[in-house]
Amino acid sequence: MNGLPKHTLIAGVGLILLVNAIVLAGVAYNRSDEPESALRLSERELSAPMSGYGNKENSGLALALNWRVLPPGSEDSKRGAWPYASYGGSPDWLNQAKMLALGFEKPAVSQSHDGQSRIQQPLPRDVLLVLELDGAAYQAALARAVQFGQVASAQEKTQASDMLKREQDENSRLFVVDAGLDVAALRAQHPDRRRYAIVHGQVRPNWAVDKDGTASAGYVSGVSANSLNVPLEWKRVFDGASAVRRDGQLPVRYSVDVKFGQRLEPWIAQATRVAPSAKQ
């Protein structure tokens, strides 16, 4: 540092101050006016880090946003009952028409030297995604867990029972249910701002060859805001919370009001502890 010219040091400090000012201005704009949407989430949708990681008194705390995608209806009920939190997937609604509407072009099929059809897969695109809380997608996931219990073999009964219990009490109820390019158009289709939040995310195609040419299997690959920093005033609410629990240990339950602002970025507006036996 002592070896740097004075003007270089001043320029470096100035750049840092400028970047911080831009970041703070963006945060202020995002939180200005009425929020675009507001969801009340629980420990099912916002998980704390593992014990001992990022949960010390003097460190910051971030909660992971657990979102899901309902697998295609053609898949068996056993797979449909798994949580698949924050790993993405190919829902039925992300069909070829939707992918074309999102700006993806239908690719041409080429033949390789071995006679196999080949398709060059395009890169992911940034789009707008709709998150639904405790709605039709979650009810469908519950129904699939029940269905698996009804068709499970004798060897699978315990597994099916555990799956249903997790779906009822633990798995996230937050599902990606739509995608688009225009906030106003998506909000018109999903007007309930306390059940549906619009966020930035990514979708990629997985074009496949069928007898009629090509068909799409769009894949939701990410949500941009995948974690939320906990303000210091709410940090004690999450004392003892952990993404991993010992058998028989009651979970730390909490209720978190999350607001999504003008830039569709979320922040924690309030958090409260909930009794361990309470249903959410």
Which tens digit of pLDDT belongs to each residue from 86-111? Answer: 678 889 999 889 999 999 887 766 65
Pairwise CA distance, residues 18 & 98, whole Å? 40
Q: Which of 50-54, 64-68, 116-120 has the lowest mean pLDDT?
A: 50-54
Q: Are 32 and 260 in contact (CB under 8 A)?
A: no
Pairwise CA distance, residues 236 & 238, whole Å? 5
- Read off φ and ψ for residue 217, nearest 5 degrees: -130, 80
Task: Show the beta-strand stretches assigned E in the chain.
Answer: 37-42, 46-47, 62-65, 110-111, 117-118, 125-133, 174-180, 196-204, 208-210, 213-215, 219-223, 227-229, 253-260, 266-274
pLDDT at 86: 62
pLDDT at 49: 85
Question: At residue 24, does pLDDT exceed 70?
Answer: no
CA-based nearest residue to 145, from 69, 73, 79, 71: 79
Question: Which pairing describes strands 196-204 and 208-210: parallel, antiparallel, or unpaired?
Answer: unpaired
pLDDT at 59: 64
Pairwise CA distance, residues 239 & 255, whole Å? 14
At 20, is the secondary structure helix, strand, or coil? Answer: helix
CA-based nearest residue to 156, from 210, 223, 225, 76: 76
∠40-66-73 over CA atoms, to 5°? 105
Tens digit of each residue's pLDDT (9 = 90 or more) over 143-187: 998 988 888 888 888 888 988 999 999 999 999 999 999 999 999
Amino acid identity for residue 225 in this structure: A
pLDDT at 74: 59
pLDDT bin (cut points 50, 70, 90) of residue 55 is very low
| The two three-digit tokens of residue 99, written as one number | 């992918």
Pairwise CA distance, residues 205 & 250, whole Å? 41
Taking the domains of the chain in order of start, what are their residue ranges? 31-274
Pairwise CA distance, residues 41 & 44, whole Å? 8
∠219-40-51 over CA atoms, to 5°? 80
